[in-house]
Structure 1
Amino acid sequence: MTDTSSDSFKLIYHAGIPGRGEFPRLFLEATGTPYEDTALTVGQDAVKPYLDGSFEGSDSNPLPFAPPVLKHGSVVISQTSNILLYLATHVSSPIELDAGGEDGEPASKKAKASALSVDDPKLFHAQELALTILDLNNEIHDTHHPIAVSAYYEEFKDEAFKRAGDFRKNRLPKFFKHFEDNLQRSTSGYLLSSGPSHADLCLFQVYDGLLFAFPKLMAKVGPEYAKVTALYERVKAAPRIKAYLESDRRQQYSMGIFRHYPELDEQE
């Protein structure tokens, strides 16, 4: 077994866009885990070695298909959901999304911190929800690239308009109802009754991106899914997340997954 307990984390992702790299970023930020974000420290040049196989440790790790990539000691892994699962089982600091009690000490800090075990069903319950949220994330991307990822939006505007219409009318309400139902069943205000998990961070990120990409749609549906909206606001106000969002580390939306095309948004 590889001992990575004393090794720092390095996140490799495209420079200039939050993208799928934002999901592990939020995990590391919410847990107060030190990490290097190569999108900020190195730039786009950091990605290439992981795609051509020239990265350190390439002899003992698979070649990643695409970023995000996480390096932890000698371990190199890719795929967003896989990285989240790895972090959940290797980061002992709790995901801190509460402002704190009367004494100023967050409730989760009062319990002994430990990484989740693969024997704990909570890990897989959180992962189940996170995977569903990442499915929604993919469908958002496909509203502006419904035919070919490598093509330009302008080549398929008619198809994008139709895809976005179905997304607004059918797909987003179906996903949000699912999350609303899970929050209704939960006793903690988070997706799981056991408390904050990486699933809550994933839902926050997708909701935030939707506010940028579909502002009119979100103004309409936000009140309809009060618990989903309340979770978004709760995560946004958490001290660590708030500090991150206000920092230079948070990259702005531009031409990544979340893009604002007014013609794809809710029509008047």
Structure 2
Amino acid sequence: MNDSKFQTWEDAVSWLIAQPEKQELVQACYYDKPLKSAAERYWNSEEWQAIQKFFPQHYGTALDIGAGNGIASYALAKDGWQVKALEPDSSDLVGVGAIRQLVGESLLPVEVVQEIGEKLPFDNQTFDLVFARQVLHHAQNLHQLCNEIYRVIKPGGIFIAVREHVISSPRDLPKFLNFHPLHNLYGGENAYLLKQYLRAIKLAGLRINKIIAPFDSIINYAPLTEESLKKELNKKFNSIPGGNIIYQLLSSKQTFKIFLNLLSRVDNRPGRLFSFVCHKPEI
């Protein structure tokens, strides 16, 4: 039974935007208006700067799968890529309509295509880069989606999937869905086991360059920053005996980085975020 409040994702986001107490979440999701300003903010974000480090050295053709309202397509085009933005939702707020409006205002080289990721309408070996932000966990058929991604990437090309929800056990899925701040509005959220993502990627023929765990990079923990993470940790440490001493030990940037890496290894929150950097082997 679907207990969601709204029939469409557009209705759900429209309601969210109208709630004064939800504006921090709206901004975190880049749903704030005007859209061009939100897209520009994403392009300038620390998250995007961290993602850029994994791109191919030379700009070429890029596919943004599950492009949503187009913020990543905008960022890719601003960086110099020739972009195709693939999005199944026709919405003027969170889908194809929004991307077309953004492209029209910015005059960037982005072609908008309405289709699902499991059925990519592109020739084999078309793209130098395929990018997916919060997309794989929405797949109805994860293996088919990864197979299609492999098919359209050029040999030597890069596939980057960021901010994918991970669970440790199927029993964790209801816990994650209940906790998710937007799932009750429309539904549609999901999460897979880490091994399911890795298996689907590998079986498709892609090679995994890097697995980015929850606190390994701001790619996963944005909109938090290192400073805001430290503040949150300081609150928690201050509530335990000797916590202030522990916090002082983490004041060094290098020590804090080691701590975050350790935190990634022990983190078992349902729905924690992972990212994957992959490539298609040369023939």
More strand by share: 2
User: Counting helix residues as a fraction of each chain, which structure ranks higher?
Assistant: 1
Q: Give the TM-score normalised by structure 1.
A: 0.32
User: Please, what TM-score do these two structures have when normalized by structure 2?
Assistant: 0.30
